[in-house]
Structure 1
Amino acid sequence: MPVRVCFVSLGLYSYANPDATDTAGGAERQLYLLSQKFSDSTDVHAVVAKYGQPSVEFRDGITFHRSYSPDPEKSPLLMPYSSIKLMRAMQRADADVYVYRGDPQKASIVAAIAALLGKKFVYNLANDSNITAEYQSLPPHFRHLFGWSLENAAEIIAQTPKQEALVNERFGTDSIVIPNGYPRADEISGYDEREVALWVGRLDQDQKRPHLFLDLVERLPNHEFILIGPRGFDESYCNSIIERANSIDNVAYTGRVDPNEVDRYYRRASVLVNTSAYEGFPNTFLEAWRQGVPIASLDVNPGRYLDTNIAGYANGDIARLKTDTELFLTDVCQRRKVGEKSRRIFESRYTIDTIASKYEETIRKAART
């Protein structure tokens, strides 16, 4: 008999229906990719936001259950009507296992509802900050509820060994490491055909920090750059980034690019630049590696995910980031050496087929506990 799993992921629907405008990110993208690779022995449901769709709808092998229209500034627990909508949608899904990925406050609410329904709960970290800065910023009662959620979770999924260690250190409980995954590339451009430096991510001041990318652009006026990403929640900051990008001759801002179309930019890229303050397991790294694109990263070490030392980590030094970026833009041999090494490791560890198999087995184990 199939195991029924329900992903509680408000933005997931936008990956199955392009007409549903949303700023869903990497966490939702991963859940969608995983769902497309699960076997027939797993019945996939998802509780999603309200986009004007029917209360129940089947798309891309997923049964979607409409809940509420979210306010990014508020928890559903602070909006009783939304909490009721969320619970009704979860009840309608009638899953064996409910999975929430990311925000610790919302995870606590989903875990509590799953417990009320007498069902299993699985927590999947989406970012290191879920159990560090975000957790610490919660009100005391939510910190307690989140701790209870992890203690009573059927499974906890970490993306990296670092997250696994943090979960054990802070909450005294075990987790299983399942990294993000991505499909293999259909085609790869020659390394001497690449011409631009690429930045991909949400226009977010605190984590992604595209303003630092624009600082880099201005330091390398003889090279071409592309800035890709949807707007974040801070309108003033987003407007300032877009206006600044439009005023610089050697960078093009594309806005949001459909995930199925972004590969054409990676195929042109000599290097992917990352300016994030922190990450969980960035999809952009996987998107780059599958195309053999090296990464120049300011604060997040790409070698952490490859389990090897690899060129491109600036260790917080913007001058070194400039040097690394320029090297990959101008030195085809170095670009090829680092890009090919990254692609080989990606194909041996991080293809979506490999990751989905492990994820699906973890869900089935949770259902049996």
Structure 2
Amino acid sequence: MRILSIDFSIPYLLKDDDHPIGGWAVQLSIWLRALDSAGHDAALLTWKGALAHVGSGQQIKLIETYDPAHGVRVAKYFYSYIPKILEAARAYRPDIMIQGVCGVHTAIMAFVAGQLGIPFVHRVVNDKDVDERCKIGLRSYEWLAYSWARSRTTAFLCQNEYQREKLAALFPSKPVHIVHNAVVVTEDATAPLPRSERKYVAWLGVFRYGKNLPLLFRIAQELPTVTFRVAGMPDRVVDQATLDAVDGLRHLPNVELIGYIRRADVQRFLSEATALLCTSDFEGFSNVFLEAFAVGTPVVTRRQVDPDAIIMRHTLGASAEDELALTKSVKSFWGMDANEYNALTRRCQTYVKENHSPTAKARELIAALTPLVAESKHHVSSRRSD
């Protein structure tokens, strides 16, 4: 199968640049490598100049399109962006196109797929994208473009049952498939560090609305005997509440802000933490959760962002109903008996090995896409015979 997707941050991810990287880029890069290893042709549309930026030796096939730094606001989509993406897609001749993250690119890829006469599949990457919160952060023309694209999507890929239920209600005639996120854990992965070698509670993410840095500040303030290490950098546009919270964290004696962590250093950062704390208001299926489990680090999070309640059902940390319970959970893991804690770390690592391997998720992805491609080719064949 020939699969074509689009993303403009993966080149920075491949170079491990000091650049904000969203969860979809991380997940898509895992998918592309797994699909390639399984014998499928998978490629990525991205920005002009990316090949020179990344260099040779990458498993992911990059196809350059346009330079996002140039163009006249909305008009650039019509005289530059769309024509260049359409030209590149025609040259690649994909069987199917996949796009994740809500916005204008959803509409562009849906349009291009329509021009090529192939299925377009949209990957939902956040719970807010399937309910009334979807308009948050989108300009009016972006929301209109995304709404148009969803109506023309052949099928949806989602991350959890909440997303599936919402999409099924909105688009009852369209296929909706749950494909959980994947994480790379080798069979001979290092055993989790014992409690005695874990020195802090970790927080990792981009500083922006929705990650709820004010909640992190309140918890750290409430637990002065617990050490916190906060990794991340501000998004391109940051709300004032987030900026105020980061400033407050900077002045707490039990908090260390360590800035952006390169991908090569994420594993070590998480492996030395007693727990990963997530304060987000909304997620989908956080890659960071899986990365934490992969090194045996439990996750303490809010109930509404525990995807399909995996943390609660598999006892991989704490899934708290409110702020008080979240704070108590952080304190509980910080003071947990070493033997109990060490057993928990092993359970976390075993869980991801058994449930989230890239190979298994690639098989699920292909199983979801195959009927769509087959039906599309059948329709083309029928039209030709007519």
Letter in 2 for 1:107: T
Distance in 2, Cα, partners of 1:336 & 1:146: 47
Letter in 1 for 2:335: T
- Cross-structure match for 1:249: 253
Distance in 1, Cα, partners of 2:237 & 2:343: 39
Letter in 2 for 1:91: R
- Relative to structure 1, is the Cα distance of residues 58 and 161 closer, same or farther in structure 2, using a 3 angstrom cutoff? farther
- Cross-structure match for 2:183: 182
Distance in 1, Cα, partners of 2:360 & 2:44: 22
Aligned residue among 326, 335, 339 for 2:341 = 335
Aligned-residue offset at 1:302: 5.8
Q: Check conservation: 1:27, 1:101, Cα contact below 8 A.
A: yes
Letter in 1 for 2:221: E
Q: Check conservation: 1:195, 1:268, Cα contact below 8 A.
A: yes
Q: Which deviates further from its counterpart, 102-111 or 249-258?
A: 102-111
- Cross-structure match for 1:167: 167
- Cross-structure match for 1:323: 328
- Relative to structure 1, is the Cα distance of residues 217 and 51 closer, same or farther in structure 2, using a 3 angstrom cutoff? farther
Distance in 2, Cα, partners of 1:275 & 1:259: 21
Q: Check conservation: 2:127, 2:284, Cα contact below 8 A.
A: yes
**Is there any run of 5+ residues in structure 1 with no aligned partner, and where?**
none
Distance in 1, Cα, partners of 2:53 & 2:197: 48
Distance in 2, Cα, partners of 1:55 & 1:336: 42
Aligned-residue offset at 1:146: 3.0
SS where residue 287 of structure 1 aligns?
helix
Letter in 2 for 1:218: Q
Aligned-residue offset at 1:176: 1.4
Q: Which deviates further from its counterpart, 55-64 or 250-259?
A: 55-64
Indicate the structure with greater helix content. Answer: 2
Aligned-residue offset at 1:334: 4.6
**Where do residues 264-283 of structure 1 align in structure 2 (5 Å cutoff)?**
264-283=268-287
- Cross-structure match for 1:221: 224
- Cross-structure match for 1:113: 112
Q: Which deviates further from its counterpart, 94-103 or 245-254?
A: 245-254
Aligned-residue offset at 1:236: 6.1
Distance in 2, Cα, partners of 1:37 & 1:240: 41
Matched, 1:263 2:267: yes
SS where residue 36 of structure 1 aligns?
helix
- Relative to structure 1, is the Cα distance of residues 41 and 301 closer, same or farther in structure 2, using a 3 angstrom cutoff? closer
Distance in 2, Cα, partners of 1:338 & 1:61: 35
Distance in 2, Cα, partners of 1:77 & 1:294: 47
Which whole-Å deviations, capped at 9, do the CAs of 1:164-193 have from their partners, x for residues lacking one?
221111111331111001012621211332
Q: Which deviates further from its counterpart, 80-89 or 342-351?
A: 80-89
Q: Check conservation: 1:195, 1:329, Cα contact below 8 A.
A: no
Aligned-residue offset at 1:68: 3.2
Question: What is the number of equivalent residue pairs in this alignment?
Answer: 359
Which whole-Å deviations, capped at 9, do the CAs of 1:125-175 have from their partners, x for residues lacking one?
11112221354567585465134223xx1x421111222221111111331
Matched, 1:314 2:311: no
Q: Which deviates further from its counterpart, 320-329 or 86-95?
A: 86-95
Q: Check conservation: 2:65, 2:84, Cα contact below 8 A.
A: yes
Distance in 2, Cα, partners of 1:77 & 1:328: 53
Letter in 2 for 1:257: I
TM-score, with structure 2 as normaliser: 0.83
Q: Check conservation: 1:306, 1:342, Cα contact below 8 A.
A: no
**Is there any run of 5+ residues in structure 2 with no aligned partner, and where?**
376-386
SS where residue 37 of structure 1 aligns?
helix
Distance in 1, Cα, partners of 2:126 & 2:205: 14
TM-score, with structure 1 as normaliser: 0.86
Which whole-Å deviations, capped at 9, do the CAs of 1:61-91 have from their partners, x for residues lacking one?
22212233447xx996774333333333333
Aligned residue among 18, 22, 38 for 2:19 = 22
Q: Check conservation: 1:271, 1:328, Cα contact below 8 A.
A: yes
Distance in 2, Cα, partners of 1:77 & 1:339: 52
- Cross-structure match for 1:297: 301
- Relative to structure 1, is the Cα distance of residues 362 and 48 closer, same or farther in structure 2, using a 3 angstrom cutoff? same
Letter in 1 for 2:33: Q
Letter in 2 for 1:246: R
Q: Check conservation: 1:50, 1:67, Cα contact below 8 A.
A: yes
Aligned-residue offset at 1:349: 0.9
Between the aligned residues of both structures, percent identity stands at 18
Which whole-Å deviations, capped at 9, do the CAs of 1:259-318 have from their partners, x for residues lacking one?
232011111111110101011100011011112211111342366135716451221x22
